[in-house]
């Protein structure tokens, strides 16, 4: 399945059958996405492929390590490789509409704004989960 930024200069491909996504409600993800939470997933680097536009990407890194990569032409969030891990973070809203997506967890719900509800049936984490265990959860198809 393919994804792209708003202007289409940056394009990428995921070689996975469907997406197990999460929504993070922390203040950084809210500001980066411009809404109540982001919608992301983390895929194995072997299942991720840039198709075009990698030289249009700029990276903003906070001193804590939080990274926001974006297309310099349209400003859309684009995938970024996790520091020290062979995995890519992927903004799920950038995927083609035909992508099969299931939201399996909500993160940082302690930071959630009060104007958005979370479905009761979804797994919640008050803060950030253990990253290794969480990546495994997202990649269990
Ligand atoms: Zn763009
Ligand atoms: Zn977050």
Instruction: State the pairing for strand pair 80-81/87-91.
Output: antiparallel
Q: Which residues of 15-43 are buried (b: 16+ CB within 10 A; e: fewer)?
A: ebeebbbbbbbbebbbebbeeebbbbbbb
Contact 108, 24 (CB under 8 A): yes
Segment 16-32 mean pLDDT: 97
Cα(19) to ligand 1 centroid in Å equals 22
Indicate the burial class of 46 (C-beta count within 10 angstroms; 0-12, 13-18, 19 or more).
exposed
Alpha helices in the chain (DSSP H): 27-33, 131-138
- Count other Cβ atoms within 10 Å, centred on residue 94: 22
Q: What is the CA radius of gyration of the chain?
A: 14
Distance 78 CA to ligand 2 centre (A): 15
pTM: 0.94
CA 9 to chain centroid: 19
Q: How close is the Cα of 72 to the center of ligand 1, in Å?
A: 7
Q: Cα separation of 87 and 11, whole Å?
A: 17
d(CA 11, CA 17): 18
Q: Give distance in angstroms: CA of 33 to centre of ligand 2.
A: 10
pLDDT tens, 65-121?
899 999 999 999 999 999 999 999 999 999 999 999 999 999 999 999 999 998 888
Q: How confident is the model at residue 122 (pLDDT cuts 50, 70, 90)?
A: confident
Which domains are assigned to the chain? 2-138 (2.170.150.70)
Give the number of whichever ligand sits closest to the CA of residue 38.
Answer: 2
Say how many Å lie between the CA of residue 13 and the centre of ligand 1.
15
Q: Can you tell me which residue has the tokens 């950038």?
A: 94
């Amino acid at each position: 399945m393919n994804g792209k930024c708003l202007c289409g200069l940056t394009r990428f491909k995921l070689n996975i059958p469907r997406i197990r996504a999460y929504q993070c409600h922390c203040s950084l993800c809210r500001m980066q996405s411009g809404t109540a939470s982001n919608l992301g997933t983390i895929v194995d680097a072997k299942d991720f492929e840039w198709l075009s536009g990698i030289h249009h990407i700029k990276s903003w890194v906070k001193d804590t390590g939080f990274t926001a990569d974006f297309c310099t032409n349209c400003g859309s969030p684009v995938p970024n490789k996790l520091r020290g891990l062979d995995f890519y973070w992927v903004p799920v809203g950038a995927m083609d509409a035909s992508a099969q997506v299931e939201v399996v967890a909500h993160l940082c719900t302690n930071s959630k704004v009060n104007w958005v509800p979370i479905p009761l049936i979804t797994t919640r984490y008050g803060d950030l989960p253990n990253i290794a265990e969480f990546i495994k959860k997202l990649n269990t198809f």
